[in-house]
Chain A
Amino acid sequence: MNRIGDALVYLNDPFNWSRAGGILDLLAEHLRISVLAVLAAMLVALPAGVLLGHTGRGGAFTVALSNVSRAVPTLALLTIFAVTPIGFGPTATTIALGVFAVPPILTNTYVGFRGVDRDVVEAARGMGLSGPQVAMRVELPLAAPLLMTGVRTAAVQVVATATLAALVAGGGLGSIITLGFRQQDYGAVVAGAILVAVLAVLTELLLVAVSWVLTPGEKRLPFLRARRATAVPEPTSAGVPL
């Protein structure tokens, strides 16, 4: 309980927020790394997922990729990119996190496109739509919820994982935790943990809201949907908690 008090004291000190290398600086760096990593992953994974899903090829590949990616520790990838000629720092962190964000987006896009009712696709073809038109005007809107799930999973995972970058001098909010451990300052450790956890949960909530706005079709309020309370088994493609 005392640690929580120490943490609140730490968080309540304006100097800890505003000084150079303080919480605000680290938060900005954390967000910059995360946004860049997710955007880069989307740039790679969305077209690939659309193409694979539309043609129906490479299913085994995407499943294998998402399964193997689960087995690779993020810490390992972060470290390995840091010891390449790129050197440790925000660049290596961004690349490593981007690599990790690809499988959830790719798999969910693929599954979303494959899950579109074949009759609907047939009907669209019969109406004279070309292949790309079918993909963009028929399959994409129907696959949108899963596609957004993929992006959300990836984004939350990246925001959470960016914390680990601090273990290999990669920057971000995790530095508060690692520095606290090194200085035996558990108040700072808990304060850093609170910040990181709140940021991850906020990201999740924000993206649930965004995907609710962006998803076409009948809308149900996003946070009420969970009340149906049927368990969705953890899919192999979804994010690893990190």
Chain B
Amino acid sequence: MRTVLSAASAEVLAVDAAPNPWFDPSYVTSNWDTIVGYLGEHVRLTVAAVVLGALIALPLALLARRSGWLAGPVLGLSTLIYTIPSLAMFAFVAPITGITATTVLIGLVLYSLVILVRNFLAGLQAVPADVREAARGMGYGPVRLFWQVELPLALPAFMAGIRVATVSTVALVTVGVIVGHGGLGQLITGGFAANFYRAQIVTGAVGCVLLALLADLLLAGAERLLTPWARGTRA
């Protein structure tokens, strides 16, 4: 790197010698609007991916539990999708939907779907057969059985899945930089491209981690609110 630059003009040398701190508060304050813009895209993509993933995963999990022969293919396919690298996933989708946020969203939905199907199915399968039997004996129809018996019992497993899916989606959004919609990932590659500007890279990276931890905390709080009966037993 240095040898290349020394062959160039003295001006470039001066840039190379300029301090390149790991973190710079003035970078954050002077680029606040840009950062918030990317943060907004990051949050939108994450929320949309997890919500859509959950909406698709729930019927799939219900179907897979109902018919035993469907559970194998659903789980096998989900493992296969999970193995495909994210960059390859976006590359498969990009020729269809182009250089848009939709490309990123489709890839993210697929990954969150895979995590959620497994956790939803595990949660549903963990509902004791006696309990369902008893509820059916008391005259519960399938819908009421699901809402009033199975969902509350499976909720901890469901929420665990949603938390894992959310945290990994926040991390995965960054790969969207390949089509220019990577949320805070744009800061990471942007800083890399801007002569390895560390302050920008670290701001993006730390922002991602903080966002993931915040989302996890919020979901943990939501889980506590939704399962008041579990509070007494928890340490």
Interface string of A33-57 (1 = CB under 8 A from B): 0000000000000000000000000
Count CB-based A-B contacts (< 8 Å).
190
Our pick among A72, A83, A226 for the contact of B196 (Cβ within 8 Å) is A83
**Closest-CB distance, A177 to chain B (whole angstroms):** 5
Q: Which residue of B lies closest to A7 (CB)?
A: B95
Q: Does A75 contact B (CB under 8 A)?
A: yes
Q: Please report the C-alpha to C-alpha distance between residue A150 and residue B196 in the assembled complex, in whole angstroms.
A: 34
Which stretch from A112-120, A160-168, A210-218 is at the chain B interface? A160-168
Q: Are B216 and A71 in contact (CB under 8 A)?
A: yes
Q: Does B135 contact A (CB under 8 A)?
A: no
Q: Are B125 and A231 in contact (CB under 8 A)?
A: yes
Interface residues on B, range: 35 or more
Q: Does B72 contact A (CB under 8 A)?
A: yes
Our pick among A72, A159, A167, A177 for the contact of B91 (Cβ within 8 Å) is A177
Interfacial chain A residues near B145, Cβ < 8 Å = none
Q: Are B172 and A178 in contact (CB under 8 A)?
A: no
Which stretch from A101-109, A123-131, A140-148, A197-205 is at the chain B interface? A197-205
**Closest-CB distance, A124 to chain B (whole angstroms):** 31
Interfacial chain B residues near A79, Cβ < 8 Å = 188-189, 191-192, 201, 205
Q: Please report the C-alpha to C-alpha distance between residue A80 and residue B185 in the assembled complex, in whole angstroms.
A: 12
Interfacial chain B residues near A189, Cβ < 8 Å = 91, 94-95
Q: Are B111 and A241 in contact (CB under 8 A)?
A: yes
**Closest-CB distance, B56 to chain A (whole angstroms):** 16
Q: Does B121 contact A (CB under 8 A)?
A: yes
Q: Which residue of A lies closest to B170 (CB)?
A: A71
Q: Are B161 and A233 in contact (CB under 8 A)?
A: yes
**Closest-CB distance, A38 to chain B (whole angstroms):** 16
Q: Please report the C-alpha to C-alpha distance between residue A31 and residue B62 in the assembled complex, in whole angstroms.
A: 40
Interface string of B85-128 (1 = CB under 8 A from A): 11111011011000000000000000100110111111101000
Our pick among B83, B84, B87, B164 for the contact of A70 (Cβ within 8 Å) is B164
Interface string of A213-231 (1 = CB under 8 A from B): 0000000000000110111
Q: Are B91 and A242 in contact (CB under 8 A)?
A: no
Q: Please report the C-alpha to C-alpha distance between residue A76 and residue B177 in the assembled complex, in whole angstroms.
A: 12
Q: Please report the C-alpha to C-alpha distance between residue A72 and residue B185 in the assembled complex, in whole angstroms.
A: 12
Q: Are A186 and B161 in contact (CB under 8 A)?
A: no
Q: Does B71 contact A (CB under 8 A)?
A: yes
Q: Are A160 and B164 in contact (CB under 8 A)?
A: no
Binding site for A on B (CB under 8 A): 1, 61, 64, 68, 71-72, 75-76, 79-80, 82-89, 91-92, 94-95, 111, 114-115, 117-123, 125, 157, 160-161, 164, 167-168, 170-175, 177-179, 182, 185, 188-189, 191-192, 196, 198, 201-202, 204-205, 208-209, 212-213, 216
A177-B87, A197-B88, A241-B84 known; 5 new pairs, CB 8 Å cut-off, are A70-B167, A174-B87, A181-B178, A190-B95, A241-B82
